[in-house]
Amino acid sequence: MELAYSGLVVVELADDPAGEYTGKLLADQGAQVIKIEPLGGVASRHIGPYAGGEVDPDRSLNFWTYNTSKHSVTLAVGEAEGQVALAELISRADILLTTGRPVDLQAQGLDLESLCSENPRLIALSVSPFGLTGPWANYRTSDLVGLAIGGLLTTCGYDDHSIPPIRPGGNQGYMTAASFALCGLLLALIERQNTGLGQLVDVSMHESIAVTGELANPYWFYPKALVQRQTCRHAQPEPTQPALFQCADGVWVYFALILADQNAWKALTSWMESAGVAADLVDEEYLSLAHRQENFSHIQELLEVFFLIQDSGSVYREGQGRGLPIGPLRAPEELFDDEHLAERKFFEPVEMSDGTSTLFPGTPYRFSGGNGAPTRPPLLGEHTEEVLSHG
């Protein structure tokens, strides 16, 4: 089956989640992604937890997460023979994907601009901590450092500002950089279709995070207002109403009531009235936004009672049925029982090298012309002989 990236050959020199996830997105949809690893394996293979509790570079769940569908080739890039083999692979690649800082690329003997000149159709995609130029180009980073220095971390956390900011889970800084890297790559591929020429695409994780600060940037650029972090709510210059409510089954739900939305207000009060807890909220004076704003503490008290007398499942279904944005707070493992994800077959069974089957997340997008599914991550050096012999 022809997939979105079928026919593309990618040489991946990535040792962090930003680059590895970019490569995974390409590989899962048909690209041949050749992952270059040192003889002992990339760093992500040596991060636990490990499947079955067995410490083994081929059983790292961290590596599995970011490296499905790829080919693993081990090379001693620092040695002459490895340099020759790498140069040969790059010469027949469409895309070279790197995550190194300029000092790292230099140590690997890689000059991305020269490679693009020598291979005019090559797209060199660099996804680095701070970009390839500038005073911080050789600084180190991590997901936490990236979120902190990019200005996003200060907006994440709790109403109580005596508690330091809280980093969101899921390597969100790296994932943001990967998303922008894929976008930049697609633009470069379109340009190559038109001109026949590749180019260097310089993606900075720092800039990727700095541009995703929601309202923080426009609030500062124009009214010079600083946003403040809030518990499970968007950071705002002034505190907004709490949006978490506990239900009868102990599960919390998220419901952001936009007071200015008259339709949402009517839907909510009608729902509350059917449950017998609307009290005076159905009075005509509450049709005034100003009155709702003045009496929000009273509204909040009634909402807390309203949710506390219902279970979270009923609240979710009934609220959504009434057109209200509401949902339960779930732990990641609860997603395996999600009826919607199950219906869309989001989790894909993947056969591993030992013959067992493991569930992997599928793709967050579907192509009507042919949609790929992840295949197992490679064993260390599994494809070295095949790839180097042009197999």
User: What are the pLDDT digits (tens) for 234-258?
Assistant: 999 998 889 999 999 999 999 989 8
Where do runs of H (alpha helix) occur along 150-261? Answer: 172-195, 205-210, 216-221
pLDDT band at 1 (very low <50, low <70, confident <90, very high): confident
pTM over 0.75: yes
Alpha carbon distance 56, 88 (integer Å): 30
pLDDT digits (tens, 9 = 90+) for 184-218: 999 999 999 999 999 999 999 999 999 998 888 88
264 token code pair? 């949402």
Contacts (Cβ under 8 Å, ≥6 apart) of 10: 23, 26, 27, 31, 32, 33, 34, 93, 94, 95, 96, 97
Task: Output the six-digit token pair for 378.
Answer: 């490679």
Give how far Cα 223 sits from Cα of 152, 210, 211, 226, 278, Å: 19, 19, 18, 9, 38
| Cα–Cα distance for residue pair 263/289, rounded to 1 Å | 12
Residues facing 202 on adjacent strands:
126
3-state helix, strand, coil in the chain (%, to 5): 40, 15, 45
Cβ–Cβ under 8 Å, residues 119 and 91: yes
Instruction: Tell me which CATH code domain 9-211+364-388 carries.
Output: 3.40.50.10540
Lowest mean pLDDT among 6-15, 209-218, 288-297, 320-329: 209-218
Per-residue pLDDT for 342 more than 90?
yes
Nearest to 28 by CA among 386, 348, 357, 345: 348
What's the chain's average pLDDT?
96
User: Residue 68: what are its φ and ψ, rounded to 5°?
Assistant: -65, 150
Q: What is the CATH number of domain 244-334?
A: 3.30.1540
Q: Which tens digits make up the pLDDT trace of 65-84?
A: 999 999 999 999 989 999 99
Backbone angles phi, psi at 12, to 5 degrees: -110, 120
Locus of tokens 């009290």: 279
Residue ranges of the chain that CATH labels 3.40.50.10540? 9-211+364-388
In terms of Cα–Cα distance, which of 149, 143, 154, 151 is closest to 178? 143
What's phi and psi for 7, nearest 5 deg?
95, -15
Q: Where, residue-wise, is CATH 3.30.1540 in the chain?
A: 244-334
Could you tell me the CA-to-CA distances from 315 to 281, 298, 306, 320 in Å, in that order?
Answer: 19, 21, 10, 8
Q: β-pairing, 326-328 with 252-255?
A: antiparallel
